[in-house]
Amino acid sequence: MSELVKSTHTGFQMPVLIYPTGALTPVISQATVELHYGKHLQTYVDNLNKFVAETEFEGMSLREIISQAPPGPLLNNAGQVLNHSLYFEQFTPYPPGKNLPGRNLKEFIHFDFGNFETLKKKMEDAAASLFGSGWVWLAQEESGKLSIISCPNGDTPIRHRMTPLYGIDVWEHAYYIDYQNRRAEHVKKLWDIVDWEMVESRLNI
């Protein structure tokens, strides 16, 4: 998985949004993308640069910071920058007519979950039951096994030596403009815009 968030002599940069802000409508509205990407993610990037400045973490990659930083503001913001960068990268405004995982990912899913519908149900249940704010990830363990991991707040699978593949953001800012308190409805509709080629490219095969 490539380093999504580039670090330069001026600090970490915002990841590039690869589609127009209104392209995910009606699943995710333009207003939500502009707030979520343009405001919330920008704030996490700004805070990350502030907390990393003049510390032993300055000059490290985002993954190195997440792996080594102690719990606290630096880790929280680094985790949120990574989570959100992967999140916005995993969607497409042009999904195929039958939007399903590709062959390699499908084999992993069938081996570890039985079928795609079971995976979807387990992720939807995990997202509905996660109390408060956080993330639900389809992630790959070091053994190659796929697992569903619930991460409170800004936690990320990398902190647990796992590779994040597909993430559901259950912070309210991800869905409240469009769905109010209907988190479950939002989570179900996300399947329509998943870029499965991108998700599969994150697999360690």
For position 183, which CATH number holds?
3.55.40.20
Q: Which residues contact 180 (CB under 8 A, 6 or more apart)?
A: none
Which of 52, 67, 89 finishes a domain? Answer: 89
Which of 89, 116, 145 finishes a domain? Answer: 89
Compute the residue count for the chain.
205
Return the SS3 of 29. Answer: coil
Q: Tell me, yes or no, whether 43 and 118 share the same domain.
A: no
Residue range 123-150, pLDDT digits in tens: 999 999 999 999 999 999 999 999 999 9
Place of tokens 């096994």: 145
Residue span of the structural domain in which 84 resides: 7-89
- Mean pLDDT value of segment 162-189: 97
Is 1 within a domain?
Answer: no
pLDDT at 57 over 90: yes
Q: Tell me, yes or no, whether 197 and 107 share the same domain.
A: yes
How many other C-beta atoms can be found within 10 angstroms of the C-beta atom of residue 22? Answer: 13
Is the separation of the CB atoms in 78 and 48 below 8 Å? yes
For the record, the structure tokens of 58 come out as 């300055």
How many domains, the chain?
A: 2
Q: Tell me, yes or no, whether 57 and 141 share the same domain.
A: no
Q: Domain holding 56: CATH number?
A: 1.10.287.990
Q: What is the pLDDT of residue 189?
A: 96
Q: Tell me, yes or no, whether 25 and 83 share the same domain.
A: yes
